[in-house]
Amino acid sequence: MENQRISAHFEEAASVLEQFRNDERNLEAVRHAGNIMVAALKAGGKVISCGNGGSMCDAMHFAEELTGKFRDDRPPIAAVSISDPSHLSCVGNDHGFDQVFARFVLAHGKPGDVLLAISTSGNSPNVLKAAEAARRCGMQVVGLTGKDGGKLAALCDVEVRVRHGGYADRVQEVHIKVIHALIDHIERALHG
């Protein structure tokens, strides 16, 4: 019985990924998001990423692969995740948890930068406020969402949505594949 349950996890994950992959809108959205990031980086901008919980881990993973390396060695690429514990606890304490990402964006974002906003529901208040702050700073917003895209969808220049109404872990599993595709796209465009 346990093996069946374990197998069911992989079957569902494969099904969600296959549905995402077979929808041409998704591939086009990933390409468009990658092009927005490439244009910003070529112009001397940066990508700031944010998310909560597992999505914060994905935001961190995105940034470290760009500043470090993904597959092949190349010069570092300008990216930062909003994940400094001292910033998060300071702003959370003084201004509220819904402001932890927005205040970072307002401090460090500039016109021409890009915000990668990750929310499996599309409704995380602090991610929404970050997207609103990015707009005020003249930044473009790329959103990774799930389900129906939530309120974040309307704040994005490009939204990459995993149309899955079940648990968030399945959405996050596709998000990390999207992140790897974006990193590969950026690396190839900038460094061949």
Closest C-alpha to 60, from 140, 52, 46, 122: 52
Both tokens assigned to 117: 């906003």
Say if residue 27 is exposed, middle or buried (CB neighbours under 10 Å; 0-12, 13-18, 19+): middle
**Residue 60 Cα distances to 34, 44, 148, angstroms:** 17, 21, 24
pLDDT for position 192: 85
Buried b vs exposed e over 65-91: b needs ≥16 C-beta within 10 Å? Answer: bbeeeeeeeeeebebbbbbeeeebeeb
Mean local confidence (pLDDT), 109-120? 98
pLDDT tens digits for range 99-113: 999 999 999 999 999
Say if CB 173 and CB 150 are below 8 A apart: no
pLDDT tens digits for range 136-153: 999 999 999 999 999 999
Q: What is the rounded average pLDDT for all residues in the chain?
A: 97
pLDDT tens digits for range 55-99: 999 999 999 999 999 999 999 999 999 999 999 999 999 999 999
- pLDDT over threshold 90, residue 1: no
Say if CB 77 and CB 143 are below 8 A apart: no
**Rounded Cα–Cα distance for residues 110 and 124 (Å):** 23
Percent of the chain with pLDDT over 90: 98
pLDDT for position 76: 98
- pLDDT over threshold 90, residue 53: yes
pLDDT for position 103: 98
- pLDDT over threshold 70, residue 46: yes
